[in-house]
Structure 1
């Protein structure tokens, strides 16, 4: 007996609905927000940077306002590298970021924590007022330890109370895995820093310390149980490790592939991204000795895709989150397109 037309139509509609739901569930998440860090002391965006921000989101930028370090001579904390705005920012959504050394909380007396919070908030307000910035949140970047968690958390509580802003704290992978030892900061959101997970090594054959899947793997199973909602920070930077006589001399962000491909000064070895200096010379105030080895570590679109795929498989894709790329100030704009960042962000 032939199928009834109404029955055929019902089956077609049911199949269409099923396929739509199935495909949607398999697709990447388009509800994420893309943003960037800006870590240079002088704030002065060029047209290309502004265009990138506008084409990847809504101009959302996390700007380092200043660092707080410990002065051993004065025996007190002090602000360093305070941000200088070259002109009024054209961006609508800026979140101030403060970097605080762990040593500050090691040395600071408990009775002085409230004062540090008050002074930090006052400097943030001063810089924001100069730019007429109506910020909604403050982010604190500190690699606290078990020994400093009580002081750091007390500082955060006071800062949140007096600022009346949403508060965020950067989170390292080890602080996720050992959250009940290191503690969970009393903030509204955490920002998981998914980079700098390996140790710098003088071995030219060692894995990329900015990101490699092997070093990340042991920490990821703890992510679903972390007690804070998490945004994600991903790397878009590179550096070169200068090695001499089997020891690390320095790490340079300004020596990249273009400099290392200069055959007047360097020769590429049989190992990928490893170069040797063919003569002694100065570059940008840096002394390079003949025979020095330079190991290039970088992140590119392929690296980001690998990191995003590995990390996102351990996160709830229904959660709304911001993906923040570190960082815009020194970003090689010829290596990435706006579409690359939007594509990577949708993995989450």
Structure 2
């Protein structure tokens, strides 16, 4: 596989005005394998948006706390890292307004500590949060304090609904936004519902507002798939380690259309308990779907002199589906 990837990297992707390519890395253990390392080097020029930790509300202690802090099994000193912190909306809902500035300073301190231990140099910080109308003011204050205290460029993720309804949701006080062009549909148990990762019809409802958004935008595109596990009409879990090929086992599953499968009996698969009559639905983002997403978004995205296309996510990317040239071809749409 490594040789295939190396050969694929010899394509013609040298446009001076082409956007930069990068990957997200979201696992709690930093240990990219050899194939992922080649993709990172040859497709992304070693640019990585690395989730360092989450910030969540601890109901027992009644305070915001970091969790899922990244552990470095491999060094990352040679990479161009942008630290990413995910903060849950419930943290902002529960934290008093008087604690927002302190949380921002604590976030910056922990980023610095992790970066120092791993010998990471960084010039920007990215915050991922799906804020709401009720948490907007707290979140924006958090961003202002973090931006001032860190002295770094500040990026924040932007969802499509926050683009369309910017008058209500507000425009965050950041240097740049990152438009998350995925997870745009409704995750539900209906077999015939379109993919919640990406579907053209849902995206089209929001894109006409994109040219008027005042914050310069990078782009986050999906190159991941998952399986939605439902039981008795309710979604119980998502899995990125189960593939369609496993669901196409006719001895274990009965097909329900093109993407869904009903369990014929109860069994364990990939460490997951599957109960008889459970339904597993494959929501996939292969090259064809990713190209549709890129073409659709590129038609509305206003030009930007320095833009980065970030692919989610390196640790779960299927190397049989995406090689170096495939990633670069997607970036070329922009």
TM bucket (normalised to shorter chain) is over 0.9
Instruction: Describe the shift of the 1:245–1:29 C-alpha distance in structure 2 as closer, same or farther (beyond 3 A).
Output: farther
Aligned to 1:331: 317
Pairwise CA distance, 1:253: 2.1
Aligned to 2:107: 120
1:78-157 superposed matches below 5 A: 78-89=65-76, 91-157=78-144
Aligned to 1:4: none
1:100-157 CA distance string (max 9 Å, x none): 0011111111111111111111110111111211101000000001111111111111
Equivalent-residue separation in structure 2 for 1:64 and 1:320 (angstroms)? 22
Instruction: Describe the shift of the 1:286–1:92 C-alpha distance in structure 2 as closer, same or farther (beyond 3 A).
Output: closer
Task: Kindly indicate whether the alpha-carbon contact (under 8 Å) linking 2:23 and 2:44 is maintained by their aligned counterparts in 1.
Answer: no
SS at match of 1:218: helix
Equivalent-residue separation in structure 2 for 1:56 and 1:87 (angstroms)? 20
Equivalent-residue separation in structure 2 for 1:48 and 1:99 (angstroms)? 26
SS at match of 1:304: helix
SS at match of 2:316: coil
Task: Kindly indicate whether the alpha-carbon contact (under 8 Å) linking 1:29 and 1:347 is maintained by their aligned counterparts in 2.
Answer: no
Equivalent-residue separation in structure 1 for 2:227 and 2:16 (angstroms)? 34
Structure 1 position 55 matched with structure 2 position 42: yes
Equivalent-residue separation in structure 2 for 1:46 and 1:189 (angstroms)? 31
Pairwise CA distance, 1:295: 0.9
1:305-331 CA distance string (max 9 Å, x none): 100111110012454311101000111
Pairwise CA distance, 1:73: 1.1
SS at match of 2:314: coil
Aligned to 2:171: 184
Instruction: Describe the shift of the 1:106–1:330 C-alpha distance in structure 2 as closer, same or farther (beyond 3 A).
Output: same
Pairwise CA distance, 1:268: 2.8
Equivalent-residue separation in structure 2 for 1:240 and 1:287 (angstroms)? 14
Structure 1 position 170 matched with structure 2 position 157: yes
Pairwise CA distance, 1:54: 1.2
1:212 aligned to which of 192, 199, 202: 199
Pairwise CA distance, 1:188: 0.4
Equivalent-residue separation in structure 1 for 2:120 and 2:236 (angstroms)? 41
TM-score using structure 1 length: 0.89
Aligned residues, how many? Answer: 320
Q: Which runs of 4+ in 1 moved over 4 A?
A: none
Equivalent-residue separation in structure 1 for 2:44 and 2:273 (angstroms)? 41
SS at match of 2:84: strand
Task: Kindly indicate whether the alpha-carbon contact (under 8 Å) linking 1:105 and 1:151 is maintained by their aligned counterparts in 2.
Answer: yes
Instruction: Describe the shift of the 1:318–1:184 C-alpha distance in structure 2 as closer, same or farther (beyond 3 A).
Output: closer
Structure 1 position 224 matched with structure 2 position 205: no
SS at match of 1:170: strand
Aligned to 1:303: 289
Aligned to 2:20: 33
Aligned to 1:345: 331
Equivalent-residue separation in structure 2 for 1:29 and 1:316 (angstroms)? 18
SS at match of 1:209: coil
Question: Mind listing any 5+ residue stretches in structure 2 that lack a counterpart?
Answer: 1-14
Equivalent-residue separation in structure 1 for 2:17 and 2:41 (angstroms)? 17
Higher mean alpha-carbon deviation, 167-176 vs 248-257, is at 248-257
Higher mean alpha-carbon deviation, 303-312 vs 85-94, is at 85-94
